[in-house]
């Protein structure tokens, strides 16, 4: 999700007083402390119903028979390995994520929570509609069953596995101590796509643009039966629960970009790029040309790369330095989207690598004098720009990029 940097500054807030609202019901005009907002205007307010799936929380879930809690921690008592894998995933910290906290707090947009803490149990408020269709003024009431601890588990086991008093699985086991139903259709890529594919405008400066599902729809991956789950939840043979016999299981770390969320941790990465280089000689003569070609192909991802969050990008850097470490020539290329966020959010360009798309980068340099040269090729994947991190007040607190590829060549020139 990306929000305008400029537009959110100086916005007048409609502070709806919840107590009053709850007491009088929502057909009556509400109290507001917005300057210049008189009673006549208030009467014009209309409640817009929530119609899109991501505008609503997943309804409150009860504890399935046989269990005492739906927290991931409690599932982890028996599903230990799966719990440990999930705990290291970005799903497990989608709420605590520093950028998320910085962004959604700006305008308290409760809609954001529907994908980051999706169960109603995890949300402090029940949202019934939007006042005048504005996401910044939801018609809300306190949730008496709000579970603060579950909120901190973000996209938790129960998000994907608990519905209507059942644990949903794909095995059809008879060995579970909890009520279980088999529903492979529910636990398919449709579940992933419900959050990973939303293209909508919340308001002119706030847009949702995750197109990973659509990108996957029409390419080799889908045709060959590769889904979000087969790539991001690879199969492993192991006991699914402590003390049980080995069977087919799925890795629950949801590896992706590999950019960690915290400085002292590592994130598992999936490789999307097939990288091919032309050769570099050890020695060149003055007058000769270094002519280096780097070929990148999105061979392994079933969608564009980067995908999802429009702030992500790759940077390819070529650097030629002399024997004293002085820069002779530096060239940078970027793969990603570029957006204008103000006065209206608009995509300006997009050179993301489509599935199986190939791109060729060329570096040329005419050797002018004798000596030693160092040539470096680097590919880095970035979560966001330093400028955006600074704006969100998280620069220095949040890992922004990882190195995907690095090669260094020492070249003698005569």
**Max intra-chain CA distance, the chain:** 87
Query: In the window 242-261, what residues touch ligand HEC (CB under 6 A)?
Result: 244, 247, 249-250, 252, 254, 256-257
Distance CA 84, CA 78 (A): 11
Q: In whole angstroms, how close is the CB of 8 to ligand HEC at the nearest point?
A: 11
Give backbone dihedrals phi and psi of 386, rounded to 5 degrees, phi first: -65, -35
DSSP 8-class letter at 257: S
Query: 204: number of CA atoms within 13 Å, CB side?
Result: 5
Distance CA 314, CA 335 (A): 5
Q: In whole angstroms, how close is the CB of 40 to ligand HEC at the nearest point?
A: 31
Nearer to ligand HEC, 21 or 109 (CB): 109
Q: Give the helix ranges, DSSP H, for 148-211.
A: 148-151, 157-161, 189-196
Collapsing DSSP to helix, strand or coil, 235 comes out as strand
Collapsing DSSP to helix, strand or coil, 367 comes out as coil
Helices (H) and strands (E) in the chain, counts: 13, 20
**Options 30, 32, 83, 130; binder of ligand HEC; rule CB under 6 A:** 83
**Options 159, 166, 209, 388; binder of ligand HEC; rule CB under 6 A:** 159
DSSP 8-class letter at 287: T
**Options 198, 296, 345, 373; binder of ligand HEC; rule CB under 6 A:** 198
Query: In the window 282-341, what residues touch ligand HEC (CB under 6 A)?
Result: 300-303, 305-309, 311-312
**Options 21, 72, 131, 379; binder of ligand HEC; rule CB under 6 A:** 72
Q: Is 100 one of the binding residues for ligand HEC (CB under 6 A)?
A: yes
Q: Is 353 one of the binding residues for ligand HEC (CB under 6 A)?
A: no
Determine the size of the site formed for ligand HEC (CB under 6 A).
99
Give backbone dihedrals phi and psi of 84, rounded to 5 degrees, phi first: -65, -40
Site string for ligand HEC, 361-390 (x = CB under 6 A): --------------------x-xx------
Match 């957006």 to its residue by tokens.
339
Q: Is 91 one of the binding residues for ligand HEC (CB under 6 A)?
A: yes
**Options 16, 130, 240, 335; binder of ligand HEC; rule CB under 6 A:** 240
Query: In the window 271-290, what residues touch ligand HEC (CB under 6 A)?
Result: 271-273
Q: Is 125 one of the binding residues for ligand HEC (CB under 6 A)?
A: no
Q: In whole angstroms, how close is the CB of 185 to ligand HEC at the nearest point?
A: 11
Q: Is 120 one of the binding residues for ligand HEC (CB under 6 A)?
A: no
Q: Is 231 one of the binding residues for ligand HEC (CB under 6 A)?
A: yes
- Following DSSP, what letter does each residue of 10-35 receive, concatenated? TPPP--B-HHHHHHH-TTS---B--T
Q: Is 207 one of the binding residues for ligand HEC (CB under 6 A)?
A: no
Q: Is 86 one of the binding residues for ligand HEC (CB under 6 A)?
A: yes
Check the CA dihedral 301-305-308-314 and report its sign: positive
């Amino acid at each position: 999700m990306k929000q305008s940097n400029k537009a959110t500054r100086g916005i007048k807030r409609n502070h709806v007083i919840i107590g009053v609202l709850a007491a009088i019901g929502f057909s009556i005009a509400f109290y507001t402390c917005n300057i210049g907002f008189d009673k006549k205007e208030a009467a014009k307010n209309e409640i817009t119903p929530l119609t899109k799936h991501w505008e609503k929380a997943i309804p409150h879930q009860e504890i399935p028979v046989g269990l005492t809690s739906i927290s991931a921690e409690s599932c982890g008592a028996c599903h230990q390995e799966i719990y440990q894998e999930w705990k290291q995933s970005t799903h497990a910290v989608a709420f605590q994520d520093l950028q998320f906290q910085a962004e959604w707090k700006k305008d308290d947009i409760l809609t954001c929570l529907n994908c980051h803490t999706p169960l109603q149990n995890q949300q402090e408020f029940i949202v019934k509609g939007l006042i005048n269709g504005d996401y910044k003024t939801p018609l809300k009431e306190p949730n008496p069953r709000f579970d603060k601890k579950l909120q901190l588990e973000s996209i938790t086991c129960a998000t994907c596995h608990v519905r209507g008093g059942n644990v949903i699985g794909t095995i059809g086991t008879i060995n579970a101590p909890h009520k279980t139903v088999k529903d492979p259709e529910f636990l398919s890529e449709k579940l992933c796509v419900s959050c990973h594919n939303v293209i909508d405008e919340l308001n002119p400066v706030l847009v949702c643009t995750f197109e990973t599902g659509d990108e996957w729809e029409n390419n080799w991956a889908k045709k060959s039966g590769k889904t979000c789950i087969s790539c991001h939840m690879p199969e492993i043979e192991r006991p699914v629960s402590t003390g049980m016999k080995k069977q087919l299981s799925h890795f629950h770390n949801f590896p992706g970009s590999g950019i960690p969320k915290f400085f002292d941790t590592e994130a598992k990465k999936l490789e999307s790029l097939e990288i091919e280089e032309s050769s570099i000689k050890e020695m060149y003569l003055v007058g000769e040309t270094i002519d280096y070609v780097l070929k990148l192909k999105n061979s392994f991802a079933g969608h564009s790369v980067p995908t999802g969050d429009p702030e992500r990008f790759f940077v390819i850097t070529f650097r030629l330095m002399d024997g004293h470490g002085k820069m002779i020539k530096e060239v940078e290329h970027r793969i990603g989207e570029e957006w204008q966020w103000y006065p209206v959010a608009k995509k300006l360009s997009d050179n993301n690598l489509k599935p199986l798309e190939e791109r060729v980068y060329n570096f040329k340099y005419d050797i002018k004098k004798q000596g030693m040269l160092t040539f470096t090729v680097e590919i880095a994947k970035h979560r966001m720009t330093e400028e955006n991190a600074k704006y969100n007040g998280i620069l220095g607190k949040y890992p922004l990029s990882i190195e995907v590829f690095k090669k260094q060549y020492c070249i003698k020139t005569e």
